[in-house]
A and B are shown apart, each in its own frame.
Chain A
Amino acid sequence: MAYLSTDKVEHHFHDVVIVGSGGAGMRCALQLADAGHRVAVVTKVLPTRSHTVAAQGGINASLGNVASDHWHWHMYDTVKGSDYLGDQDAIEYMCRAAPLLVRELEHQGVPFSRLDDGRIYQRPFGGQSREFGEGGQASRTCAAADRTGHAILHSLYQQNLRAGTHFYQEFFALDLITGDDGCQGLMAWDIARGEYHLFQAKAVILATGGAGRVFRVTTNAHICTGDGGALTLAAGLPMEDMEFFQFHPTGIADVGPLITEGVRGEGGYLINANGERFMERYAPTAKDLASRDVVSRAIAQEIREGRGCGPKKDHVLLKLDHLGEELIMSKLPNIHELALRFADVDCTKDPVPVQPTVHYTMGGIPTNRFGEVVYSKGRNKEVVFPGLYAIGEAACVSVHGANRLGGNSLLEIVVFGRACGNQVMKHLREHRYHAQLDVDCWQRGAERVERWLSSARDRREGPSIADVRLRMQTIMQEHFGVYRTEELMAEGVARLESLAGEMDRAVISDGCGLFNTELVEALELENLMALARVTAAGALARRESRGAHARDDYPERDDERWMRHTLATLDSEGVKLGYKPVRTSPMTVESFPPKKRVY
């Protein structure tokens, strides 16, 4: 008896398949491989090309190497930073685990910068405090100069080489194989050879990163297209809180590359066209180190009121020359390089033009704090979907709620990468054998590819994917920016829905089987479009301002009605919205009730 109704598809058997080789995927792979499991990592780029490599400023942990610190203070800051949309059990778990995980990274070889006494260097970052906001600024962000992501990603790759993890690199995940009893595997496309592969597994873990490319200007890599979320939607499962995209206050104006918050942590500050240090007006205590949503809104406000810089008055300036060349070259060398290359500015002498830029996807695939994907069924809002897991930026666990604190994402990827690995091991003990697959289960994935290849081979006429993508990104940029209104968003939703209708007619011109990157871009565009639609619908519906979702027409947070997570599903009829409560009960400590955020 054949397993599949085709011989076009190579069939693999693994205990676990992890989609994604960023920090989250590789930390999880390591946990499982070191425990002796057969782990396959499927990744659309070579592992060290994953976007974790671009992270700059650092990773948070209450090591207290510079000034006394406590995980409970870290937890408080994270809950407050999330604008009370974060799930407090997951936040407690993450902040408690942070010191352990960061030291473990050090043991795994991460070349952290050092203090004079030889311990890990820590710098102040936005939204950090001691003693629950009462004890002044904390220094919680552990850094390897301003290349912390590179240092972590390479170390985790090295550890996986040691552990013998199987990498299927430049393989594109096409479709989840799901049935009544959960997720059983994954269909993928070998980009280089142009072949289909079916990975059968007892557990599938999505670690596919963020979706910043739904917008036109972003700090995210070209590959950040939210693929895991789109696979989840296609499986009939929801996405959570996608209306919350973080605008980082300091992307290089017009082009996007990030200038880390570490610059302000080291003493840099923002000025407007009058040379005024305007953050003092918006956040008298924390000033430039207020939380990101606050700083981004302040910049947008300055620009709206005509105090922007440059001929178009569309950005502000980040001043750091006063820090001195020596500090810049030892603690911020990469920033120096980026400013020179992308803004043509020597930051040891001149300020860098910056503007709020799409940076981080707070929303994602809904999970509990074990990384298990959950959905709502009737009254039960968190039913586990067996065999499917999500971690990292792709997931919404949710430790970031409506606004992520800098340095918490690198932390999230290692903490939940490991936790998920441990949870999967439990699952494997109870699920010893691979399930029987439907012999036709490969078809839906293959159709995704064939539809595009045939458009090229038959030379069909239609809009190009580059054209559709740019229009989508422009709609998102213009209608779902830092400040949102009912009117603007309603128009955005309408335009987006009509554009989505054009996807069926879109074509590519490359019909070649080998290393067809136009095909990959087409598949990514399908994914982006799905995520843009749930983002837009969720944003329009949420009539309040919370964290990164700021509305002119509803300027206040409304805890009564909106302290809840959005759950969006997508089918042929469009986006459907549902909601679930925030998990306000931590694991062991008392809950932090919502209060007004002041920085």
Chain B
Amino acid sequence: MSEMIRLSIFRFDPERDDKPFMQSYEVPVTKRGMKLLDALNYIKWELDGTLTYRRSCGEGVCGSDGLNINGVNGLACITPVTGLKQPVHVRPLPGMHVIRDLVVDMDHFFDQYRQIQPWMQTDTPTPEHERLQSPEERALLDGQYECILCACCTTSCPSWWWNGDRFLGPAVLLQANRWIVDSRDEATGRRLDQLEDAFRLYRCHQIMNCMEACPKELNPTAAIDSIKRKLLARKS
């Protein structure tokens, strides 16, 4: 018999269940390097077609399958399942409204993203050719632009759980910083003005959960810190 993996998975169907419960499954190890998404797919395709979760790319680039895995947020498709403590506890991203099983409502997260006006803003006329940017200026975007908006960081942030209606949270602040440091963007002042707010930015208390949660190894804490320092420098 092949090796089996035991999982305990959060289930909730609001049409049928009064409250959520954890359901146990056993899944064989089907291949070397098997990921948690492979295990979820195995359950869905072989054991229980009602298990509900999101997925798309299967390789950690689209941000669909952020989940809480044994208490830590991560992407199912790049989390090796064999290394995990069993039974593997799989829950939806914490602090989010659950639509069904592992699927959460992402509307508020994306609304907050829109609030920072995450698009290039320029006042000078558009040049005929590309806007020039030196490799050094471009390097400032590394570690920022790669964000896949999976919300693993934001939903691990205690400040966001308590004040998520107003605190923008690490993912969105990282993206705010992505535009602040882009040498081509000409709205830095306006962007900083918008963030200078007791709630939007300053609810971050450097707890660093976000950095540990990020599956792309980005560092929202550093970005938040950099925004704070820019605001301070502007005052003096």
- Which chain A residues have a beta carbon within 8 Å of chain B's beta carbons? 45-46, 48-51, 53-54, 103, 106-109, 111-120, 144, 147, 150-151, 154-155, 158-159, 161-162, 192, 221-223, 254-257, 334, 337-338, 341-344, 464, 466, 470, 508-510, 512-518
Residues of A within 8 A of B64 (CB): 45-46, 49
A512 touches B16 (CB 8 A): yes
Find chain A residues with CB under 8 A from B58 CB: 221-222, 256-257
Q: Say which residue of B32, B45, B118, B145 sits within 8 Å of A111 (CB atoms).
A: B145
Give Cα A221 to B106, complex, Å.
21
Measured between beta carbons, the chain A residues less than 8 angstroms from B103 are: 192, 515
Q: CA–CA, A322 to B15, complex, Å?
A: 58
Stretch in B132-140, B191-199, B222-230 with 4+ CB within 8 Å of A: B132-140
Say how far B108's CB is from chain A's closest CB, in angstroms: 13
Given known A46-B106, A54-B61, A518-B50, contact A111–B44 (CB-CB < 8 A): no
Whole-angstrom CA separation of A222 from B45 in the bound complex? 13
Main secondary structure of the interface of B (DSSP, over half): loop
Q: With A54-B57, A344-B33 as given contacts, are A116 and B135 in contact (CB-CB < 8 Å)?
A: yes
The number of chain B residues with a CB under 8 A from chain A is: 57
Q: Answer whether residue B100 sits at the interface, using C-beta atoms and an 8 A cutoff.
A: yes
- Additional pairs, 10, CB under 8 Å, beyond known A53-B148, A111-B182: A112-B130, A114-B133, A221-B57, A341-B33, A466-B46, A466-B49, A510-B52, A512-B16, A514-B15, A515-B103
Per a CB cutoff under 8 Å, which of B53, B62, B101, B120 touches A48? Answer: B62
Chain B hits for A192, CB < 8 A: 99, 103
| A518 and B49 contacting across the interface, CB-CB below 8 Å | yes
B50:A114 contact, CB within 8 angstroms: no
Complex Cα spacing A113 to B63, Å: 23
State A151–B63 Cα separation when bound (angstroms).
14
* Complex: A46 Cα to B114 Cα, angstroms: 14
State whether A48 touches B148 (Cβ < 8 A). Answer: yes
Minimum CB–CB distance from B176 to chain A (whole Å) comes to 13
Asked whether, in the complex, the Cβ of B44 is within 8 Å of the Cβ of A518, the reply is yes
Residue B19, interface by CB 8 Å: no
Point out the residue from A116, A162, A337 that lies within 8 Å of B60, measured CB to CB.
A337
Q: By the criterion CB–CB under 8 Å, are B120 and A49 in contact?
A: no
Establish whether residues B33 and A342, one from each chain, have CB atoms under 8 Å apart when the complex forms.
Answer: yes
Q: For window 185-205 of chain B, which residues contact chain A by CB distance below 8 Å? A: 185
Kindly provide the distance from the CB of A112 to the nearest chain B CB, expressed in whole angstroms: 7
Residue in chain B with minimal CB distance to A456: B49
**Per-position binary interface string of chain B over residues 112-130, scored 1 when its CB falls under 8 Å from any chain A CB and 0 otherwise:** 0010011110000010111
B60 x A114 contact (CB < 8 A):
no
